[in-house]
Structure 1
Amino acid sequence: MNLRYEIILYWSEEDQAFIAEVPELPGCAADGETYQAALQNVQIIMQEWLEIAQRLGRQIPDPKLRSVTT
C-alpha cells in the first residue's frame, strides 16, 4: 500500500509523548515515547487505517504531492 502521506510529529506536554498525525487520513494518529517510536507507531496505524477503509469500501484519499521550490 502507498504510505506516502504527510505526517506531522510534535511533542505533547499534556500527553508527555510525541504525537504523529496524518492529516489526510481522518483520525489517524499515534504516539510514542520518542520521535522514532511515534513515527514507527503511526506507520502501523496508517497501514491499518488503509486496510480497514479498503475492506469497508470507503474512498481512500490520494496522497497530496508537495512541490519544492528553490
Structure 2
Amino acid sequence: MKDYHINIFYSDEDGGYIADIPDLKFCSAFGDTPSEALTEVLKAKAAWLKAARAAKKPIPKPSFRPAIYQVA
C-alpha cells in the first residue's frame, strides 16, 4: 500500500521544523527536531483521516512523490 508523502523543512520564522502532507489539505505539524515534527504530523494525519471519515468527506489517494535531484 502506498502512503502519503511527507515534507519536513526548517522554518526560520517559526524557529523549528514543519512537517506537512501535501495530499491532505492543511495537514501539518511543528517540532523542535525533524523527528519530533514527523511524530506530530503522523498524529495529525490520523486525526485528519478520522475526521474526514466521520464527516463522510472524500479521502484523496496518495499522489505526491518526493523530487529527486541529480547533480551533474
TM-score, normalization by structure 2: 0.84
Q: Distance in 1 between matches of 2:42 and 2:11?
A: 19
Note if contact 2:16-2:33 (Cα within 8 Å) is conserved in structure 1.
Answer: yes
**Counterparts of 1:28-47 in structure 2 under 5 Å?**
28-47=27-46
| TM-score (norm. length: structure 1) | 0.86
Q: Is the 8 A contact 1:10 1:18 kept in 2?
A: yes
Provide the aligned C-alpha RMSD in A. 1.7
Provide the secondary structure at the position in 2 that maps to 1:63.
Answer: coil
Whether the 8 Å CA contact 1:3–1:47 is kept in 2: the answer is no
Tell me: CA distance 1:33–1:65, structure 2 relative to 1, closer, same or farther (3 Å): closer
User: Per-residue deviation at 1:3?
Assistant: 7.8
**Equivalent position SS for 1:30:** strand
Q: 1:65 to 1:14 in 2, by over 3 A?
A: closer
